[in-house]
Amino acid sequence: MITFFTSPIGLGHATRDIAIALRLKNDITFVSGEGAASMLARNGFNVLDVYKPEKFVVESGQLQHSFKWLMDYYSYYKKCKVIAKAILGNRDGLIVSDEDFASIAIGEEMGRRRVLITDVTETHFTSGLASIIEKKMNKSMHKMMQACDCVIIPDIGDDNSNIHHVGPIVRQTNIGRDALRRRFGFAKKTLVASVGGTDAGEYLIDKTIEAHQKLQDRLDSELVVVSGPSLKLPDSPDYRNLGFVDNLHELVYAADLVISLAGRSTMDESITSGTPGIFIPIKGHFEQEEGAARLGYKYEDIFRLETLIEEKMGHRNRAVDASGAESAAKIISSLS
């Protein structure tokens, strides 16, 4: 039996956890919230929709009030500990957590076996005096990681002690790209723009629509928007909005270009499928800024989307064979 805690902040945690869970033969119950819980349920998993995360305040693509968000997140963490304790008190077996440190903390108190999945080993949201508190929080996080039976990192790196790097964790498709394009009605060169599970990417979507409109005289292409569960867009002849989907990996594979916030899972799906991508981080969001920088992007690139779209559209990259989900599932199975 596995109780699988999935962070509900965005949809990336849910997508990679689905990729892992499909390879596990265990009895799994997921614990999550909001759009992530909905995605897990739509993929046929048993889900407890009990978490309600704090929202990032993002204006014009820039993170606002980062210290306040950090304090709100700590309050949310304490609430999640209460929820996790009630759930785990009625369930035996392995605890697997995708960046839900509340369940890791409760599992440690209970003496339960714990697996943590994370690509963040410390946070850097604040500076100055506020960073003193953040450093203390990071120290606590490090202690929890060291006490876990295993920490799975979806990246390439050297293993050390209980740390295991497995490479990108992405969902796979058994359908060819041409068949997917026919299924989705992609008749022209297709730009897929996605914002994930929050409304933080609204500014990026607006800028993408604007840039694509200006390129129509030079590019025979169509814009497909995946607005997710939180962002509401008006109908328009300038784009096709698919809303909230649970197969973004297939849309990314079928597309000629993807534009997205710099969320880890979407970037990994782009890289492994060979589809070129433009990834714009939320300014001030350290995790997205670091991830985007690895691929050569920064927030200011949002102001030159026209140029980037013309450069990248249709220039497919070599697909990368990713076995991270399989490797992660083997590790989890060995501990369950």
- List the domain boundaries for the chain: 2-168+324-335, 177-312
pLDDT tens, position by position, for the chain (336 residues)?
A: 899 999 998 899 999 999 999 999 878 999 999 999 999 999 999 999 999 988 777 788 887 887 887 788 889 989 999 999 999 998 999 999 999 999 999 999 999 999 999 988 777 777 777 788 888 888 888 998 999 999 999 998 889 899 999 999 999 888 999 999 999 999 999 999 998 767 778 899 999 999 999 998 788 899 999 988 777 888 888 999 999 999 999 999 999 999 999 989 999 999 999 999 999 999 988 889 999 999 999 999 999 999 999 999 989 998 887 899 999 999 999 998
With CA atoms as reference, report the closest residue to 261 among 101, 14, 63, 42.
63
pLDDT attached to residue 122 = 73
pLDDT, the chain, mean: 91
Domains 2-168+324-335 and 177-312 share a fold: yes
Task: Write down the residue that tokens 């014009």 correspond to.
Answer: 60
CB atoms closer than 10 angstroms to residue 85: 16
pLDDT attached to residue 55 = 79
pTM for the full model? 0.90
At the top level of CATH, the class of 2-168+324-335 is alpha beta
Distances (CA, A) of 267 to 149, 168, 172, 261: 28, 10, 14, 9
For domain 177-312, give the CATH number: 3.40.50.2000
pLDDT tens digit sequence for 212-270: 999 987 888 999 999 887 778 888 889 999 999 999 999 999 999 999 999 899 999 99
pLDDT attached to residue 121 = 78
How far is residue 165's CA from residue 141's CA, in Å, rounded to a whole number? 18
